[in-house]
Amino acid sequence: MDSYLIHDANAGNNFKIMMMIQKEGMKGYGIYWMILEFLRLQEGYKADLRVLPILAQKMRVTVATLKRFIYESGLFRVDDTTFSSPGLTRRMGPLEAKREANRESGRRGGLANQQKIRQGMQSDALAINKTNKINNSPSISPQGET
């Protein structure tokens, strides 16, 4: 489930998104979610700005429209070479923390299993009577010697 995207059911009620919908219409809402879906699959939830022509073509909008949308909507963070969604990064934080905790738990469990296996290999070995001593102890049988 690596492509899981947390989506708030009330995302359309976010002030910035309402303003964006008022300006761009529902087409803008679709562009927004397509961008988030793309960013979700990127390392660190950020993408190189050079990908905008490809995204624009995929979304069937002009590069200028997509750039304006990303730069002016207030929904994205843009630096010199990349863009990201602070909201997406924030929403994915708990999922990433849970996955990391599960990885660590699995790692610790695997180490514990390996240790048990190693200990089992040592304790399950047959004891070797190196002196070949014969047991001359008296019998504890009720009939006496057998």
Confidence of residue 125 (pLDDT cuts 50, 70, 90): low
Tell me the pLDDT tens digit for each residue of 55-106: 999 999 999 999 999 999 999 999 999 999 999 999 888 667 666 677 777 7
User: How high is the pLDDT of residue 41?
Assistant: 94
Longest alpha-carbon distance in the chain = 103
The sign of the CA dihedral 138, 139, 144, 146 is negative
Per the DSSP assignment, residues forming a β-bridge with 125 are none
Confidence of residue 113 (pLDDT cuts 50, 70, 90): confident
Give the three-class secondary structure for 46. strand
Domain ranges (residues) in the chain: 11-85
146, pLDDT greater than 60:
no
Averaged pLDDT, 30-56: 96
DSSP H or E segment with residue 78: strand 77-78
Can you tell me the distance from the alpha carbon of 123 to that of 60, in angstroms, rounded to the nearest whole number? 68
| N- to C-terminal Cα separation, the chain | 68
User: How high is the pLDDT of residue 110?
Assistant: 72
Neighbours of 8 (CB within 10 A): 11
CATH T-level assignment (fold) for domain 11-85: Arc Repressor Mutant, subunit A (1.10.10)
